[in-house]
Amino acid sequence: MASDKQDFMRELERMGLKVGDFGWGRSDFYAEGGFDISAEDGDAYKYIDYYGEFRGGYPYISEDIEQMAEDYGYILEWYNAGVLQAAPEY
């Protein structure tokens, strides 16, 4: 599990996304392998957009990131407009 998390995070960072433990979630969320993805920093606008300003007004997560999450065994959920959280599937 830990290697999946690290690999997934590394792959997102290579895409220009900021990832990590931003402290928005409960401590057990992070302890169980969850992490945050910034929707405001780096190249986030290319891949995730809560307001969907550039994609018809609906929250958007690129198919590439959704497929990566599935491949690594994670689910994605918006915490707020600035943070997308990745949680391991159980």
Examine the pLDDT at 9 and tell me if it is beyond 90: yes
Q: What's the rounded Cα separation, in Å, for the pair 26 and 46?
A: 28
Sequence-distant (≥ 6) Cβ neighbours of residue 25 within 8 angstroms: 34, 36, 79, 85
Examine the pLDDT at 90 and tell me if it is beyond 80: no
Task: Assign 78 a pLDDT band (cuts: 50, 70, 90).
Answer: very high
Q: What is the pTM of this model?
A: 0.90
The sheet with strand 83-88 has its strands ordered as 19-20, 35-38, 83-88, 74-80
Domain segments of the chain as ranges: 2-88
Asked whether 34 and 87 are in contact (CB, 8 A), the reply is: yes
Query: So what's the pLDDT on residue 3?
Result: 67
